[in-house]
Structure 1
């Protein structure tokens, strides 16, 4: 499917993906769809705000493997939070890349994009799509010379473990407002995200960009270390183990990791744990003590203190707030 406008694309895309409009739950700004029962089950929600931004919420399980091919000739930025790992994508002639759980940033390059989903596997995500017009007209009109965001989004693409962004995406996902109040709420969350991404993260990346020459092999091994941290989130094997995986000395590994990911290995692991805590608190009925143990904290009080430092509330308060909302 080729389109010159991202809004037109998402007006047509649900039907092409075998979703049926659910009028009873749709509003002026948001269209709600259900997957046709012959093709699977689940929902797809599309919120469009006056050609400025689009918010997508989806949670579905297809009965068949499917591939969606698109080419959109429109400048936009997409920031997503995936809760599942069952999909993959390919841009242009690049290799297929599996989508990991967490934050994903995509800057459209007007190239052919292939999206793949596995049959009988859940696909769950929340996406924010910001049009170029939103930056050029709305933001600059309100705030003047709006800072260029290229460096910041490069940082975000490489450092997808921001607990602050995960927290905001969870708020967007659980928003119950409708109509104008929903539009105001979502825009406030988008501005909150942009304040983090286009300023704080960009400056942090620039300040911590220590000059270490990294080869392609170095980068591949650093990604391997990051995956090891994700796969062993409940433990921290220590600097020696990680440096060995990266085939570097301890001192060089610390510098290289900080340059590539913008933070230390321990802080990165702590961010991963706090991201996972949000999901476990919302998607399971496990006790806070059990969640703390799974994430590598022997003392639930220590876990609760770190959680509150990140999010401004205790794990119990966060869980109760979600259920109330």
Structure 2
């Protein structure tokens, strides 16, 4: 794979250039850098192997940004707009213009690529692109009815989206992305971990698409201010997992009412506030059990449970395994 990304307005923001072109199957390349341009601070992490390129971008900007993206080889692009909105303007294809809003993801196939990626001003705008070689992706694409149209586009070498409507990023997806960004392994072990996590993330994308395939898409008519308000709600939830706010308190903190909060949150995140909170709590608990030297009682206390028994029951209901067993299997 050969991918080049360069800003054209303002000039000087280089994101990925040539890193997705490693020939050694055991090699991995990693870069952490900060780019500065007029009105823009762009922090990005790139992890690349012979089959994939993981690119994390966090942008603070007081100005519009236009990136030029080019590739001469077929690839699949997993895109996650974590806390930002942006637009793709594709050249020479039937797809033309396609936009992502906050907390949306999709999968794009292109035989070649020439497009402009446009961003509006904002602080802490996070997104992730994971570029996969066609050979790597095809090993994991299920031969199932839901994916037939997408598979046909791949076989004909025609640009395609997995889903005609973007799908919501779940707490599980976000947790996997954070694990990729923050892991400290080196060399071949980092390559193994990144590839395993990308496969897991791809599985969640494909699984979610199959689940919603044929169902009407979520409404997408919220104003930008409402979407931003729901992003604030999500941040409050994630920052208070052990002592969550009530729906009324959440609504008051972001300047809305309980009815509008429930409606808009489900529209943006594809699930209820309570379900999102529960998923986020369980994902955080799993991460603490696996990555920290904490026992089940300590994790239960951190997550706000009065006793470990209630925590164990909730954990098993969510994951189908007790926290004690997941702790053992992580060693």
TM-score tier after normalising by the smaller chain length: 0.5 to 0.7
TM-score by length of 1: 0.57
Matches within 5 A, 1:237-316: 279-282=235-238, 287-289=243-245, 293-294=249-250, 306-307=275-276, 310=279, 313=282
Instruction: Note the C-alpha offset of 1:115.
Output: 1.2
Paired residues of 1:69 and 1:112 also in contact (CA < 8 A): yes
Q: 1:89 to 1:284 in 2, by over 3 A?
A: farther
Tell me which protein shows more strand as a share of its residues.
2
Residue in 1 aligned with 2:188? 180
Instruction: Note the C-alpha offset of 1:47.
Output: 0.8
Instruction: Note the C-alpha offset of 1:30.
Output: 0.6
Cα distance in 1 for partners of 2:37, 2:223 equals: 39
Cα distance in 2 for partners of 1:277, 1:165 equals: 18
Tell me which protein shows more helix as a share of its residues.
1
Indicate yes or no: 2:170 matched with 1:165: no
Residue in 1 aligned with 2:130? 128
Q: 1:155 to 1:205 in 2, by over 3 A?
A: farther
Residue in 2 aligned with 1:18? 13
Matches within 5 A, 1:137-148: 139=139, 147=143
Q: 1:226 to 1:112 in 2, by over 3 A?
A: same
Indicate yes or no: 2:108 matched with 1:100: no
Instruction: Note the C-alpha offset of 1:146.
Output: 5.5
Indicate yes or no: 2:150 matched with 1:194: no
Paired residues of 1:20 and 1:36 also in contact (CA < 8 A): no
Cα distance in 2 for partners of 1:178, 1:278 equals: 32
Q: Return 5+ residue gaps in structure 1 as ranges.
A: 22-26, 211-218, 234-272
Cα distance in 2 for partners of 1:17, 1:179 equals: 30
Q: Return 5+ residue gaps in structure 2 as ranges.
A: 17-26, 151-159, 252-257, 262-271, 294-331
Instruction: Note the C-alpha offset of 1:294.
Output: 2.2
Paired residues of 1:85 and 1:98 also in contact (CA < 8 A): no
Q: 1:72 to 1:33 in 2, by over 3 A?
A: same
Instruction: Note the C-alpha offset of 1:72.
Output: 2.0
